[in-house]
């Protein structure tokens, strides 16, 4: 594929991923397998997906470049995979899923470094080279790190909370109909593949969130994906001033017996949608229990959802820094 066509293919891929983050299987063959040896020629270690190119058979008639895409920085950082491991000029072995449209495209799952260590990029993948030391720990993502000391668990909702991959009720737990809930917001946050999803979809993203009491009459709900930072105005009448013209809307809330109730509207976007949420600490202080109701009074459509996040020691919310 020539460079202009490749650029178009990548643009189409990224635009689709912005709408359906988990639709990568439409572009890469998860039943296929490709392995090659090459020299790292460029690294783009940014969200939403790491991209690395490799020069293969350099200086020969068979010279070509492989482009690869892989997991997000948000996930890889928690797996212990850092940019320092991917040095331009290093000769490595790479394996992954072949692109369905381009013979030089790969969804990278494994990389064997010259010193014998293997980087595993895919959270569900086993090691490919059993004798290699593995880099890529998925314990936090899968909820295998637990604070056994009850006294060290959160005492309120104000903490960092993690989605647990593959866990029913946590990962991919929020479901919404495809029609009836669209915000025509005037000021989209981000561009290209980094445009934030509508708020209710954003709350279902698989990255950590943090709830902060600002001690000034507001609460911050910080969802890592797309640097989604929401302000909840506490203990006041919900009178939407129409100033929020993006898909975060205008939020008010109140606490009752440690449970946070939030109402969000989108008047600044001329939308009739009302989004109501609750956040509550579980009895064992290990989970953040969440409910929401999304309604459109004009169409009469209403949807209820539940989800939970889990406390994982030493967790953090980092800048998403999407491009």
3-class SS string, 197-251: CCHHHHCCCCCCEEEEECCCCEEEEEECHHHEEEEEEECCCCCCCCCCCCCCCEE
108 and 162 both lie in a single domain:
no
CB 230 within 8 A of CB 265: no
156 and 304 both lie in a single domain:
yes
CB 310 within 8 A of CB 161: yes
219 and 161 both lie in a single domain:
yes
The answer to the question of residue 279 being in a domain is yes
295 strand-pairing partners? 274, 302
Instruction: Please give the model's pTM, rounded to 2 decimal places.
Output: 0.87
Confidence of residue 197 (pLDDT cuts 50, 70, 90): confident
Q: pLDDT tens digits, residue range 84-132?
A: 999 999 999 999 999 999 999 999 999 999 999 999 999 999 999 999 9
114 and 157 both lie in a single domain:
no
The answer to the question of residue 257 being in a domain is yes
The answer to the question of residue 145 being in a domain is no
Rounded to the nearest integer, the mean pLDDT of the chain is: 90
The answer to the question of residue 141 being in a domain is no
Count of structural domains within the chain: 2
22-36, 189-203, 239-253: range with highest mean pLDDT: 239-253
The answer to the question of residue 322 being in a domain is no
187 and 221 both lie in a single domain:
yes
Distance CA 91, CA 253 (A): 55
Query: What is the model's pLDDT at position 9?
Result: 35
Mean pLDDT, rounded, for 282-302: 95
The answer to the question of residue 244 being in a domain is yes
CATH code assigned at 244: 2.40.128
Confidence of residue 35 (pLDDT cuts 50, 70, 90): very high
Domain boundary among 102, 135, 168: 135
Query: What is the model's pLDDT at position 12?
Result: 33
Mean pLDDT, rounded, for 243-261: 96
Query: What is the model's pLDDT at position 13?
Result: 33
E strands within the chain? Answer: 34-44, 51-56, 64-69, 91-98, 105-112, 117-120, 133-135, 160-161, 209-213, 218-223, 228-234, 250-256, 259-265, 274-281, 287-296, 301-310
DSSP 138-157: -TTTTT------GGGS-SSS
273 and 238 both lie in a single domain:
yes
CATH code assigned at 104: 2.40.50.140
7 and 78 both lie in a single domain:
yes
14 and 126 both lie in a single domain:
yes
Q: What percent of the chain has pLDDT over 90?
A: 79
The answer to the question of residue 140 being in a domain is no
The answer to the question of residue 15 being in a domain is yes
Range of 269's domain?
150-310
Query: What is the model's pLDDT at position 178?
Result: 76
191 and 241 both lie in a single domain:
yes
183 and 92 both lie in a single domain:
no
128 and 158 both lie in a single domain:
no
79 and 186 both lie in a single domain:
no
Domain boundary among 65, 100, 135: 135
Query: What is the model's pLDDT at position 2?
Result: 39
Query: What is the model's pLDDT at position 67?
Result: 97
Collapsing DSSP states into helix, strand and coil, what is residue 296?
Answer: strand
Q: Which of 317, 323, 313, 322 is nearest to 148 (CA)?
A: 313
């Amino acid at each position: 594929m020539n460079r202009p066509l490749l650029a178009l293919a990548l643009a189409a891929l990224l635009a689709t991923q912005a709408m359906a983050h988990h639709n990568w299987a439409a572009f890469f063959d998860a039943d296929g397998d490709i392995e090659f040896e090459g020299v790292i020629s460029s690294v783009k270690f940014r969200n939403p997906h790491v991209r690395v190119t490799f020069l293969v058979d350099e200086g020969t008639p068979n010279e070509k470049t492989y482009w690869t895409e892989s997991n997000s920085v948000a996930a890889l950082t928690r797996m212990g995979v850092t940019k320092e491991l991917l040095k331009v000029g290093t000769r490595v072995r790479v394996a992954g899923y072949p692109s369905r449209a381009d013979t030089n495209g790969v969804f990278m799952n494994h990389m064997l470094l010259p010193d014998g260590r293997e980087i595993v990029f895919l959270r569900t993948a086993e090691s490919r080279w059993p004798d290699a030391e593995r880099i890529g720990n998925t314990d936090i993502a899968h909820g295998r790190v637990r604070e056994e000391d009850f006294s060290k668990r959160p005492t309120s909702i104000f903490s960092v909370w993690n989605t647990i991959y593959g866990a029913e009720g946590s990962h991919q737990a929020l479901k919404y109909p495809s029609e009836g809930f669209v915000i025509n917001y005037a000021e989209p946050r981000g561009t290209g593949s980094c445009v934030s999803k509508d708020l209710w979809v954003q709350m279902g993203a698989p990255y950590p969130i943090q709830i902060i009491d600002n001690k000034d009459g507001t609460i911050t709900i910080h969802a890592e994906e797309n640097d989604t930072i929401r302000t909840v105005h506490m203990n006041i009448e919900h009178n939407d001033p129409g100033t929020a013209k993006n898909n975060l809307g205008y939020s008010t809330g109140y606490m009752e017996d440690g449970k946070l109730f939030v109402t969000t509207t989108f008047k600044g976007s001329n939308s009739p949608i009302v989004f109501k949420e609750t956040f509550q600490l579980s009895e064992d202080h290990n989970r953040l229990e969440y409910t929401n109701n999304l309604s459109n009074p004009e169409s009469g459509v209403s949807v209820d959802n539940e989800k939970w996040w889990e406390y994982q020691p030493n967790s953090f919310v980092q800048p998403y820094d999407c491009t």
